Amino acid sequence: MRSPYEELGLAFGDAAVPYLYGTDCTPALADAVVDRLGDVDTVLLVLDDGVRGHADAVAAELGRRVRVEAVAVEAHERHKTLPTVQHLLESAVARGLTRRSAVVAMGGGTVGNIAGLAAALLFRGTRLVHLPTTPVAAFDATVSLKQGVNLSAGKNLAGTYFVPALIACDLAWLSTVPRHDLLTGLAEMVKNVLVAAPALEAKLLRALDDLTLDPAAALRALLEIGVEAKAPYVAADPRERGGALIFEYGHTAGHAIEFVSGGAIRHGEAVAWGMLIAAEVARRRHGLGDADVAAHHRLVAPLDLPDAAARLDGLDRAAIRAVLAADNKRGYGPCAPGEVLMVLLDGMGHAVPGPAGGPPLVPVAVDAVMDAFETVAMNALEAV
């Protein structure tokens, strides 16, 4: 009998993590979670409050075989904090979790990070399962060991690296994401093509076209792009401190935009703006050619971004500068006051090398980043 789901094997250094995926396979995935956890006594289901329909179905299936304790989290940047993590830890202990228990995170990247950090801390590490329900989580965030939350100065300034026991995704969950959020969330796949897999551009554009006519096939193709591009890098660099830092492309300015907007500009959209800003910086500083800048716009155009001026003009420039100054990549290489480390490209699929053979991060004056920000904010986004 054919399995209702497929399995990919992800490697993070010496750690192997199975990734199960399919369409309309929730009961089978829930059974697989329990089977693969083995002697689990209780599951703490940390769920995005916005996906209760999917989560209720998962909880019911899990509950046939194991005790389930559900805790809902509002998936908003203002809740991606250490107090939220502490709330989960207190809830876990109060509800009787033990070292045989597991944390199951069901939602987008925000919930995955909050629950992932809680799992890493509970009893100094308890088993973690990711059930991603957004494209950012399914195709990018879970293909990483990073578990982080925000501090008052900026994004992802507190966290750790933690290996999940299992990742499982019913792609039907993703098809219920509002279309705008689905498209902007695919900015991470655009990033993958730009920095690591330019040969997959046609496959990406075809999948974006197919989202309406054949969403199941399109989502499978997008998952393949996410894993095919990123998996070799995280296998060799599981803590993403060397070559895998290329996947920070667009995130320096993007994180600042997302944070200063208070989450009103969500992660995928913010990264899309951040990539256009990075392309403008690289055009001026490292000779990124007009054709490659045009490729950025060509790939970002289908993501249904709002008008740049209307979206970015209201952001507090001084606050963006402050967040850039506290960016969490500081310390990976030389960076003077008034500079920020960025991943930049000098061609499709080729990052500008870091100083002295270090990681692919180059120091850029914050003024230069802000000049590029203003250029992007003034220009309407058009397909090229």
Catalytic residues: 146, 248
Nearest-angstrom CA–CA distance, 353 and 376: 25
Question: In the block, which residue shows the tokens 């069901």?
Answer: 106
Using the structure block, give the residue that is written with the tokens 């230069």.
368
Q: Where are the beta strands (DSSP E) in the chain?
A: 6-12, 15-22, 42-48, 67-73, 102-107, 127-132, 146-151, 154-161, 166-170, 339-342, 345-347, 350-351, 362-365
CB 360 within 8 A of CB 353: yes
Nearest alpha carbon to residue 127 among 99, 102, 149: 102
In contact, 73 and 91? CB cutoff 8 Å: no
356 half-sphere exposure, CB direction, 13 A CA radius:
3
Judge whether 204 and 299 are in contact, CB under 8 Å. yes
Give kind and range of the element (H or E) at residue 60. Answer: helix 52-63
In a 3-state reduction of DSSP, which class is residue 130? strand
